[in-house]
Structure formats: C-alpha cells, structure tokens
Copies of this chain bind each other. A is one copy, B any other.
C-alpha cells in the first residue's frame, strides 16, 4: 500500500505535539488531510507494532534533530522491528510558545508553568529573563501541559488512563509547547519562539509496511543500518569505500550501540540517492557482501526544504556515477566480451 491509500496514521502522541504537526504537513502535501485519521500513540514500539498488525496504515516518528542529532528511540525501534520501510519525510521547525487559558495570567503575574524537561532546558534562558519569578513543574510531554491546562480551563482536567495524574486544581498556570498545542487546547499565546535555538528543526519520517517503493525523484534519501564485526580492523573504512567507489554521499552517519553485547558495532546511515539508481543499488550490494549485516529501511523523497537547500549549494550527481554512466559501462563490457 502507498501513503495515498492510507486511512489511519499513527503519530507519537499526545495530540498537538511536533510530531502531529509533521503528520499534518505530510497529509497536506499529499491532499490527504481530510481523509486520514490521525491516531496518537505512546511509543515507537507501540506504533510500529500497530503498523505491522495493520491496526494503522502508517506511523510518523522523529528521526533527527538539528540540535541533538539522531533520535535514538526511533533509530533503535526501526532497527529492531524489521519489516518496515520509510516512505516519506517531513522537516518541521522546533518553535516553542508560552501559552495559558485566555485572560488568566500575564508574563508579569505568572507564578508556575509546566512542560517536558527537554523543553524546559531549551527555554530556560528566555524564562529566566522574562519571567524569573515563575517556578517550573515537569510534565511528560511538550503537549501534555497544554492539554491538561486546556481541559482544566474548560472545566474538566480528569486524568487519562494512559497519562500522568492531573488534578482539577492544576498546579501550573501556563504551558510551554508547540503552537499547535496552544491552538488545539484553546490557550492564548503569551510569547512565541522562546527557544534558545531559534533555527532548530526536526526531521520526521513516515513508516509503512514494505510494499511499493516510492519512485525515484532525483532528490531522494536512502536509510540503512549496517552491522560490522569488530574483529576486522578497518571494517568501517571498508564499508565506506563501498559507498565511495560508486560516488554515493552520506547526509548522516552514527555509530549505534547494540544490545547484543560487545564486539558488534552498527551504523545508522542516511545516503543521498535512491536504491533504484544504479550507484545506490551497487553500493548496497557491495555493503551486503563485506558487512556482517545490513538492513534496508527505505528510499524516499527528501522534504521539500532539503531539496531546496541542496539545489542551492550542491552540484547535481557526478556524471561519472549517474545511471547513464552505469549503462554505458555495461554496454561497453557487453561489446568487448561479446556478451
């Protein structure tokens, strides 16, 4: 099945997180926003199980952050799950707002606020400058504080079965989270873009059961996980030479720990190109030969923003590794060997 046929898409919840924002972007881009149901879930493992079982048709998860790098929980869950493939990506700016129920509080009168510890760390400098009197109260997600606050403001505020306890008398007056959360839960934005890294972005991927591979677009990314036996010196170099010999560039590489004890390293890699292009196919076959283990996680179009950046700063594919060069090499060999 392709994304176009999807009816239900899971995302890392709760509602109104940056992940839901990414899913909304993806659905909008494919004109599916009105026809696809968005299903919040609690963890990558839960989501991937749901995709495999058919409970949902796709799942959207964060894979890489411009400040923190790769997202370990996603990379590891993808590696462990098997039988899943990335079919699309979206890049979303990480932009925090401070919000409260309309008319209840101002920056000057704010006494307490809630958010996830990561978001608190990224907005601490701004809060210390603009509302130094406000005391921090940790919550389980960036959207959770907004949800609880909105529910309490609306007169509810009961705990959900899957979430943390929250009393009707909520212990904080404002929430820090994505603008989508403020909008979703009817809060008023007191301040916008209060994070330290104002240009921060997160890259999200959409995962489905293996089936029809997305068509090459000329601006694609391929994600693989490669396991290397540690007892062969230079194994990483040897693996990279399989990419280099075919002119394949990488946009991300990370050595990942394995749970299988010592002596086995694995690398999570994003490479530029599509497995239906000759240079990528031959490079992956080469890695399959020399590495202990390789897992193909998908070839998919880059997000529009990424394509634009590459367009401006990089050259097109080296003609020596374009499909035409591979075809010409095969034709030459056929001719000289009478093949």
Residues of chain A touching chain B, judged by Cβ–Cβ distance below 8 Å, are 43, 64-70, 72-73, 76, 112, 116-117, 120-121, 135-141, 159, 163-165, 171, 197, 199, 210-213, 230-231, 233-234, 236-237, 240-242, 244-247, 249-250, 252-257, 259, 261-263, 275-276, 281-282, 284-286, 288-290, 294, 296, 299, 309, 313-314, 318, 320-321, 325-326, 328-330, 332-333, 336-338
* Cβ–Cβ contact A233 & B138, under 8 A: no
Known: A211-B338, A275-B337. A257 touches B67 (CB 8 A): yes
Q: With A211-B338, A236-B253 in contact, do A165 and B140 touch (Cβ < 8 Å)? A: no
Given A230-B314, A233-B247, A289-B329, 4 extra CB contacts under 8 A:
A135-B164, A138-B138, A285-B333, A299-B337
Which residue of B is nearest A313, CB measured? B263
Chain A interface main SS type: mixed
- Do the beta carbons of A250 and B262 come within 8 Å of each other? no
- Stoichiometry, as copies per complex, reads 4
Does the CB pair A337–B296 fall under 8 Å?
Answer: yes
A290 to chain B, nearest CB (A): 6
**Residue numbers in B under 8 Å from A262 (CB-CB):** 309, 313
Contacts A137-B165, A288-B329 given; does A69 touch B255 at CB 8 Å: yes
Chain B contacts for A281, CB-based, 8 A: 333
Q: Give every chain B residue within 8 A of A329 (Cβ-Cβ).
A: 284-286, 288-289
18 pairs of residues in contact across A and B, judged by CB atoms under 8 Å: A65-B257, A66-B257, A67-B257, A68-B72, A68-B73, A69-B257, A70-B254, A117-B117, A137-B164, A213-B337, A231-B313, A231-B314, A237-B237, A242-B245, A253-B254, A254-B255, A288-B332, A289-B329
Is the beta-carbon distance between B112 and A165 smaller than 8 angstroms? yes
